[in-house]
Amino acid sequence: MSNIDPPLTDLPIRTTEGGFYNGFSTSVAVPAKIIISILCVWAIFWPIQSGAVLNGFNSFILQNFAAWYIWVVALFVVVCLGLAIWPTGGRMRLGLDDERPEFGNFSWFSMMFGAGIGVGMLTWAVAEPVYHFQNNPDVIKGLATGSGADNVMNAYKWSYLHWGLGAWACYAIAGLCLAFFSYRRGLPLTIRSALTPLFGKHLSGVLGHVIDVVAVIATILGVAQTLGFGVEQFAAGLTRIGIGGLTDAEGAVTTLGVIIALLVIMGASTLSALSGVGKGIKWLSNINMGLSIFLLTFFLLFGATFFGFKAMTVGLWDYLIATPAMLSTVWSGDGVEGSVASQLAGWQGSWTVFYWAWWIAFAPFVGLFLARISRGRTIREFVLGAMIVPALMCFVWFAWAGGTAIDLELNNVANGAIFGASDGDKIFAMTTVMLEPISAVLSWGMSLLIVVLLMTFLVTSADSAVLIVNTINAAGDEGPKARPHILFWGVALGTVVAGLLISGGTSAIQTAMVIGALPFSVVMVLMALSLIKAIFNDGRREKVGVPTTFDEIPGASEPHVPGPVVPAE
C-alpha cells in the first residue's frame, strides 16, 4: 500500500453567474480594481503628497529589503538550473506524459523573446551600456576608468547581469509553475494554483483571493513601468520627427507629451484588446517582429560591427565568470555620504534592485504567456530554452546597438550627442549621428521607423496585460471578456502611468513598482518551493504507481484549452 495520496486536481474558485461580473471572481476583480483606482486618484489629485510617501517607502525598502531582492533572484536562478539538472524534474512534461509541444523550436524561441522584452530593448539596449560605460561598481571601486577604454567590457558585464539569467529565471519560475499545475494537474490557469502543494484547498478561499489580487497589482505596476519608459521614448521620437511641445529643453517629457502619448497608446491598445487575440494583437505582433529584425540588421551591418562582436563574445565571457559574485553580493551603505560603500549601495538600489523588482512584477504577465506556449515541453527543455536563448538575444541587441553608441562616442564622432540625450532619446540620437551626414531624409525615416516599432511594442504590451489581468480575475478562464472590463483595465493602466509620471516622473512609477513587487516576491518564493515539493512527491508517486496527472485520476477534468497564441510584446 502507498502512503502518499494522488495530487490535488480540483481547486474550485467561485465566479459570478450572470450580471456585470459574469464569469469573474468578484473576490479578486473588485479588490484589485479598488486598490488600483485609489492609487490613480491619489497620484493625480495629491501628486506632491503621493510622491513624498512613495519616496519614503522606496527608501525604507532599499534600506531593509535590498538584500531580499538580491537573494531571491539568486534563488530563482539556482532553482531553475537545479530543476534542469534534477533527473526526476528535468524529464517531467508540462502537460500529460504523452503530450508533445504545439510549437517548433524556432517559433517557440521567437515568441519567448517577444514576450519578455520588446520596449526594453529600444530604450535600454543603447542607454544601459552607455550608463555603465560611464559608471559602474568597478569604476566606483577604482578598478576602471569611467568613460575609458578599459571600462567597455565592465559596462557589458553589468548590462548582461540585468537582462540575463536573473531576469529570465524570474519569468521561468512563474511560467513553470503555471504550466505544471494547470496542464499536469488540471487546475485553473491562475497564480494561486501554483501553491496547492503548500496550502491545498484553502486556496479556494480568502488566501487564494489575496494571492491573485497581489499578482494583478504587481502585473499592472510592472507593465506601468514598461509603459512609463515607453511614453518618454515615444514623446522623444515624435519630437525627432517634427512634432513639438512634447519634450522640454532638457529632453524630459512634458505633461502634454504624457497625455498625447498615452491617449494614442492606450486608445490603440484598448481597441486591439477589444478585437481579440486573434486579430489586433496578432497583426501588431507581426509588424513589430519584422521591424525589429530590420532595425537589428541595420545595427549589425552599418553600426560598430567588430566592436559589437567583441562586446558580445568577451563581454559574455566576463559576465559568465562574474555571475556568481554579481548575483550574490549585497552592498550596504556606511551612512557616510559619498563614501565608496554608500555609492555601491546606491548604485545597486538604483539598478540591480530596481531590475529585480521589475522582472518579479512582470513575472505573472510573461509567465502566463510562457506557460501557454510551452505545454508539452519537458521541464529541462523549458528551463534551458526560456533562460538561455532569450538572454542571448538580449545580449545581441546590447552588443550591437549599445556598442555602436559607445564606439561613436569613443571615436569622437558623436561628440557627446548620445551621452547627453535622455534615456529614451539615446537611440534616436545615435541613428541621427549615423545617418544625418548621409541624408536628413534617411535620418528622419529611421526615427519614424523606430517610433512605429515602439508604438507596436507598447500597444501589444498594454493590450496583452489587460487580457492577462482579466484571465486572473476570471479564475484562469481565458475566454472572451465583457467589453467594460477590458475598457476599465485599459483606462486604469493608462491612468496609473499618467498619474505617476505627472507626480514624479518615471522614478515615481519605479518606486510604486518596487513596492508592489515586494509582496509578489514572497508569493514567487512560495511558488518555487511548491514546485520543488510537487516534483519530489510526483517522483515518489511514480515509484509506487500513484497517478500524477489529472487524466489518470477519476473525476478530474481537462483544464481550459487556450486560444490562439501570439507574442505578448
Q: What pLDDT, on a 0 to 100 scale, did the predictor assign at position 461?
A: 76
Nearest to 429 by CA among 437, 418, 419: 418
Do the beta carbons of residue 108 and residue 374 sit within 8 Å? Answer: yes
Write out residues in the chain with pLDDT < 70, as ranges.
Answer: 1-2, 110-111, 113-119, 251, 272-286, 478-482, 503-506, 553-569
Q: What pLDDT, on a 0 to 100 scale, did the predictor assign at position 278?
A: 45
Q: What pLDDT, on a 0 to 100 scale, did the predictor assign at position 245?
A: 77
Distance CA 187, CA 192 (A): 10
Tell me the HSE value of 518 on the side-chain side, using a 13 A CA sphere. 16
- The full set of domains in the chain, from first to last, is 26-552 (1.20.1740)
Q: What pLDDT, on a 0 to 100 scale, did the predictor assign at position 559?
A: 53
Q: What pLDDT, on a 0 to 100 scale, did the predictor assign at position 481?
A: 62
Q: What pLDDT, on a 0 to 100 scale, did the predictor assign at position 505?
A: 65
Cβ neighbours for 168, distance < 8 A, ≥ 6 positions apart: 116, 386, 387, 388, 390, 391
Nearest to 164 by CA among 396, 339, 2: 396
Nearest to 490 by CA among 177, 330, 266, 280: 266
Q: What pLDDT, on a 0 to 100 scale, did the predictor assign at position 569?
A: 36
Q: What pLDDT, on a 0 to 100 scale, did the predictor assign at position 216?
A: 92
Distance CA 229, CA 506 (A): 7
Q: What pLDDT, on a 0 to 100 scale, did the predictor assign at position 351?
A: 94
The overall pTM is greater than 0.75: yes
Distance CA 234, CA 562 (A): 33
